[in-house]
Amino acid sequence: MLNKADIQAQRARQLLAVGPGLLWLIIFLVLPLLAIGAISFFSRGDYGQVQWPLTFGNYKRLAGYGPFGFDSLYPAVLARSVLLGAGTAVLCLTMGLPLAFFISGLSQRWKTAALTLVVIPFWTNLLIRTYAWQILFAPDSPLSRLAAACGLIPAEGDLYPGVFAVFVGMICDYLPFMVLPLYASVEKLDWSLAEAAADLGANGINVFRHAIFPQIKAGLIAGAILVFLPATGQFVIPDLLGGAKTMLLGNAIQQQFGSSRDWPFGGAIAMVSLALMLAGLWIFNRRREA
Amino acid sequence: MLAAIEIQNLTRRFGPVVALDGITLSIGQGEFFSLLGPSGCGKTTLLRLIAGLDSPDGGTLLLHGEDALALPAHQRPVNTVFQSYALFPHMTVYDNIAFGLKMKKVSPPEMAARLERALRLVDIEALSGRTPSQLSGGQKQRVALARAVVNEPRVLLLDEPLGALDLKLRKQLQIELRQVQRRLGITFVYVTHDQEEAMVMSDRIAVMNQGRIEQLGSPNEIYERPRTRFAAEFLGSCNVIKTAILSRNSASCLVSTVWGEWRMDSPASSTSDLSGAAILLTIRPENIRFHPVEESDNRAHGKIISIVYSGSQIHYELESNGQILKAIVLNTQHGSKFQMGQTVAFAAPPAALRMLES
């Protein structure tokens, strides 16, 4: 049994241990976030200053209330970003799942090699990787010619800029975030459950659905979160590979805080994107518990 | 009657290792058949081949007269109770047991009736809402059994199903399993490394070693007439004595031992004249007789060098002419009780000596 003084001493020690990290989070995350949240309810002055009165106008504008009726600009930004994130997550999943099974089936030596190959993109700067795709997808590049020869794109056409190039870049950047948690759960798979299911009359699809999927669900959801959340806020890759014509959450926020000097509206976009991601997280977590 | 399982020359290799070396075997319908052997002898591999969880490199397998090797696991008319139970951790006990019926799309009323019967059969009705993590080892074992038998397979394969349980529970479940098998009339193929378990439960046993069947027969046959040294030593304990045959006739046989000439009953099946050949004899420890009368056959003296008391029995080891013999006597009021170092007379009755194939 611990007496009261011991418990208090223990609490003090615990506080001392978590204190620095907690302080850091409060000063550099919680307080700025609260400030941005507060700013989003103010108005923009003529010279870009944040000023009274308090208003819901920024949020209304984001939802499509324009001076001349419905304006789809910002709702489209939100939808586009969520689609980009979800699309990247789905593509990474369809590519990452077979890859995770494949790596897990390799011998120990090849496993290490394959995992190293998966994480190698981390070691290269994102911008360099993305510019490299621009070159690879340029009109005269072998890849573009091959695609044209196969009739996938018009002759003399190119693979960049466009949706295809954007998703190639996104997959390149986010695939490791999907593969690693998936691999971790595939590696722990209890194959005897798959055998038991087959023994009880389950065909291939049902074996996967009832015996394998439930075992890798947690890894799958972790991977989906790790891809979806940052991919939703990503704007460098879409800018560089999509032709800088489309606005996404990331560059919308950047624009408001930068060239447009409209901090209240930028704050509103930031708060809404945060809410969207939290909602996504909540949905994923509910699936995980189910 | 058509055999439940007919195996011809079944072979399985894992790289350079021969796991099954041409197994030929026939198992009758409704039989409780055990595959007995040490780990690595191929018994689990054989079971997995029958279940369809692995494919052989050669040979044939018929289930009730039909070629089963062409069928994938989920289409074979067999079910398996796995060593690790392999219960689905995310399903309740009820859903675990219902899984096979759902896969076969059994109608809901029939499913409910069969589930109830299965739950009652293994006495786990009260647990149906729990998940496997909330069950004890014995309960998991019952769920695994119910999950398999609810499908009413004609052959049930069991891979060391009691291996993870403590001795007392194991003994109880041995009896229950045997009762379930009799009541349902299902053919059981039971893999175990526990010789006592195999003897208590089985109609027939195949003793396996290094991918081959060493001996196949009823528990009684194998225990009392072991053919090979491996079979003799794997089932129970035994003394192995080196001898050479001096002479033989139809009734008895004279052999030379370290104790001089011994007489034994002539082996029934020997075809060739083994005269002069060096052979091995075996005698079970409980057949060594103490205080023999002067004129009895195969009489000798030995010194007690070890005494192990195990309640109902006393296990002795005696040293005699350089040979160590194990002997077991019942611990009764009038049974033999010896001291360490005591010299005692003993005899090996001719009928209890067995000749082993080399």
Give tens-digit pLDDT for B329-339.
988 887 778 88
Q: Does residue B149 or residue B248 have the better pLDDT?
A: B149
Q: Among B79, B84, B90, whose Cβ lies nearest the Cβ of A214?
A: B90
- H or E element that contains B238: none
* CA-based nearest distance A177→chain B, Å: 26
Q: State mean pLDDT over B261-282.
A: 73
Cβ count within 10 A of residue A54:
10
**Among B90, B141, B154, B156, the residue to mutate for chain A (most A Cβ within 10 A):** B90
- More confident: B191 or A289: B191
pTM: 0.79
CA distance A265 to A57: 9
Task: Express each pLDDT in A151-200 by its tens digit.
Answer: 777 666 666 777 888 888 899 889 999 999 999 999 999 999 999 999 99
- Report d(CA A110, CA A106) in Å as an integer: 6
pLDDT at B54 over 70: yes
pLDDT of residue B278 exceeding 60, the answer is yes
Report which of A285, A240, A275 is spatially closest to residue A82, judged by C-alpha positions: A275
pLDDT at B272 over 60: no
Residue B103 with chain A: CB contacts under 8 Å: 197, 200-203, 206
Distance CA B27, CA B190 (A): 12
CB contact under 8 A, A200 and B151: yes
Q: What is the pLDDT of residue A126?
A: 85
Q: Which residues of B124-146 are buried (b: 16+ CB within 10 A; e: fewer)?
A: beebbeebbeebeebbbbbbbbb
Q: Percentage of residues in chain A with pLDDT exceeding 70?
A: 96
Residue B132 pLDDT exceeds 80: yes
Give the pLDDT of residue B263.
87
pLDDT digits 0-9 by tens, B194-203:
999 999 999 9
| Sheet strands side by side (includes B58-63) | B17-27, B5-14, B58-63, B66-67
- A-to-B residue pairs, Cβ atoms closer than 8 angstroms: 60
Partner A, chain B 44-83, Cβ-Cβ below 8 Å: 51-53, 72-75, 78-80, 82
| Chain segment B290-330, per-residue pLDDT in tens | 887 777 788 888 999 999 998 889 999 999 888 999 999 98
For the stretch B93-112, what's the b/e string if a residue is b when 16 or more beta carbons lie within 10 angstroms of its beta carbon?
bbbbbbbbbbbeebeeeebe
What is the per-residue pLDDT for B34? 95
- Look at the block and give the residue holding tokens 């699809």: A205
Is 80 exceeded by the pLDDT of residue B151? yes
* Regions of chain A with pLDDT less than 70: 1-2, 154-159, 288-290
Please give the Cα distance from B232 to B228 (Å, whole number): 6
Select the residue from A107, A199, A208 to test the B interface by mutation, using most B Cβ atoms within 10 A.
A199
Q: Is the dihedral of CA A209, A211, A213, A217 positive or negative?
A: positive
Please determine, for the modelled complex, whether the ipTM score is greater than 0.90: no
Task: Report the pLDDT averaged over residues B139-160.
Answer: 92
Residue B56 has pLDDT above 90, yes or no: yes
Whether pLDDT at B129 is above 80: yes
The helix/strand/coil state of A91 is: helix
Dihedral angle of Cα B340, B343, B345, B350, to the nearest 10 degrees: 70
What pLDDT is attached to residue B109? 93
Q: What pLDDT, on a 0 to 100 scale, did the predictor assign at position A67?
A: 75
Sorted by sequence, the CB contacts under 8 Å of residue B240 that are 6+ apart come out as B229, B232, B233, B280, B281, B282, B356
